[in-house]
Amino acid sequence: METLENEEKDNIEVEKLKLEQEKEML
């Protein structure tokens, strides 16, 4: 269970980074 939670957290962090990068591109 803990590993799944960690993976979800990592995924959210990655999504946040992607969004930030997209903003910079605009």
Question: What is the pLDDT, as a whole number, of residue 1?
Answer: 65
Reported in sequence order, the residue ranges of 1-26 that DSSP labels E, i.e. its strands, are none
Instruction: Quote the CA–CA distance of 26 and 13 in Å, as a whole number.
Output: 20
Q: Which SS3 state, helix, strand or coil, does residue 1 take?
A: coil
Kindly report the pTM of this predicted structure.
Answer: 0.58
- The span from the CA of 25 to the CA of 3, in Å, is 33
Q: Read off the pLDDT of residues 1-26 as tens digits, 9 standing for 90 and up.
A: 678 888 999 999 999 999 999 999 87
As a whole number of angstroms, the distance between CA 2 and CA 9 comes to 11
